[in-house]
Homo-oligomer: A and B are copies of this chain.
């Protein structure tokens, strides 16, 4: 029987939409999983339905089902232990009370008991990303009883850099993870999300994902990196 790394951690990634977990921290997930940590992914939004003027889950049922399969496949590629998917309305999180999202995250927290949390950047252009960040921060308050002692936010190419270039929303990473050896799994996982991939130079093209990882590597002397903002660390 394999012996566990004695420092192994429980990690929870909370993303707004399918594929955000890959774009935001796919390389880091793969590395953490390889290093014998348990990684869980929660995806709050259903995806796809914002394409219609009026949300219609029935009309999009087939695509939604396909997306479910893509989620599983992509997360398996990264070594994720368990993926939880919810059905908040795609790109319409502002039509839900923030408190309802907070309560959902509190239930996830109770189930997973994470030591470390990764989530969206508060300053993304996408409204669902903004709200997810605020809900995560509200659910993980630094109480004595709180187990999670590290919270990080990640960028989502095509949302983070598309907000106005302002100090009120800019992503300014101070935490870099070397993904030189796991960038390939990030790319591979992204390939599973066929419907979400775009042509270069779109930020969600495979070549762009690679370029962005190299760009962050250059910033701190590595071959490839993912970049994060430290929200809170307690030692």
Could you tell me which A residues sit within 8 Å of B by CB distance?
50, 53, 91-92, 94-95, 97-99, 103, 122-123, 125-127, 134, 137-138, 141-146, 157-158, 161-168, 170, 172-178, 200-203, 208, 211-212, 214-215, 217-223, 229-235
Contact = CB atoms under 8 A, between A and B. Distances in A.
A14 to B, nearest CB: 15
Contact of A235 (B103, B157, B176, B219): B176
Nearest to A133: B164
B218 A203 contact: yes
B98 A142 contact: no
B218 A211 contact: yes
B218 A201 contact: yes
A219 B145 CA distance: 13
B144 A202 contact: yes
Given A165-B174, A201-B221, A211-B211, A125 B137 contact: yes
Contacts of A157: 218
Given A215-B215, A219-B203, A172 B175 contact: no
Nearest to A142: B220
B201 A211 contact: no
Contacts of A168: 122-123, 167-168
B212 A218 contact: yes
A175 B208 contact: no
A203 B125 CA distance: 28
Contacts of A167: 167-168, 170, 172
Nearest to A54: B100
Contacts of A99: 50, 91-92, 127
B201 A144 contact: yes
Given A201-B218, A230-B230, A234-B178, A173 B165 contact: yes
Given A92-B97, A95-B97, A125-B134, 7 more contacts: A122-B164, A141-B158, A176-B233, A201-B223, A202-B221, A208-B218, A212-B218
